[in-house]
Amino acid sequence: MTQTDLASKVGVSQAMIHFWEKEKATPSPEQKGHLKKILGSVWTEVHAESTDDPHSSQPGAVGGWLNRTRIERKTSVPELAERTGLSPAAIYNIEAGRIANPRAATVKKLEEALGVEIPNEVKDESREEATIKGFGELVDFDPHEDDDPPSLPGIYVLYDISERPIYVGQGADIKRRIRDHRDKFWFKSPIVETGAYVKINEKELRERVETLLIRFLKSNAVINKQNVDR
């Protein structure tokens, strides 16, 4: 966002934005409120590690499209969050690649807020990258958004802000299982930042895959206690 763009949104001159940045002037409390609404305050928290980490996620097909389109429409992340009902952190995570294959409902909210549909080739690329042969599509979700976890049977994994898997679970209704976790002391950012799931209908298969994943992760599945030797 240029100084001119920001000045137009706040209702001041471009020169005033320049003075604020150079600390030659101070915005009024009302202007500070406008700035916070437009620029937000979570970028540093969400991106502190990924900015300096050469091994951090790269934006997926949807994240790249979202970032380009949002900038073209001169829309800040907090503004887009307000229009979609998503959290700013969720949008940052999509653009950063932590949520590489967001749910269809999330994609629809973004399309409606930006007034443009994601090209089919972008959606196809995202699905192709996330498909596990023999199982299906690995779909990312925001565990802190009440409507984002799916009411579907399957396996799910919760990741911390560094994308380390900290919990593996399964259930006939993933949304209900995630709601159960929210009462736990560990269920908060940055310990739990993102999640992903694969739909699996058969209970026996879910339980076998869950046990296998937990045993593979060993002590890296920080929160899990069952099926692992410590």
Q: Find the helix or strand (DSSP H, E) in which 46 lies.
A: helix 43-52
Look-up: residue for tokens 């396996």?
155
Q: Tell me, what CATH number does 171's domain have?
A: 3.40.1440.10
pLDDT in single tens digits along all 230 residues of the chain: 788 888 888 888 888 888 888 888 888 888 888 887 777 654 434 444 444 444 455 678 999 999 999 989 989 999 999 999 998 888 988 998 888 899 989 999 999 999 999 999 998 888 888 887 778 899 999 999 988 999 999 999 999 988 889 999 999 999 999 999 999 999 998 899 999 999 999 999 999 999 998 888 876 666 766 654 44
The domain boundary, picked from 109, 132, 155, lies at 132
* CA 124/CA 72 separation, integer angstroms: 23
Total domains present in the chain: 3
Domain assignment present for 228? no
Q: Are residues 168 and 92 in the same domain?
A: no
Domain assignment present for 227? no
With contact defined as beta carbons under 8 Å apart, do 166 and 192 qualify? yes
Q: Are residues 168 and 104 in the same domain?
A: no
Question: DSSP label at 102?
Answer: B
Domain assignment present for 55? yes
Q: Are residues 79 and 5 in the same domain?
A: no
Q: Find the helix or strand (DSSP H, E) in which 230 lies.
A: none
Domain assignment present for 110? yes
Cross-strand partners of 98:
none
Q: Are residues 51 and 31 in the same domain?
A: no
Which CA distances in Å does 199 have to 100, 131, 179, 209? 17, 11, 18, 12
Q: Are residues 125 and 59 in the same domain?
A: yes
Range of the domain at 85: 45-132
* pLDDT at res. 196: 95
Domain assignment present for 168? yes
* CA 209/CA 172 separation, integer angstroms: 14
Distance in Å from the first CA to the final CA of the chain: 50
**DSSP codes joined into one string, 19-42:** HHHTTSS---HHHHHHHHHHH-S-
* pLDDT at res. 225: 61
* CA 91/CA 45 separation, integer angstroms: 13
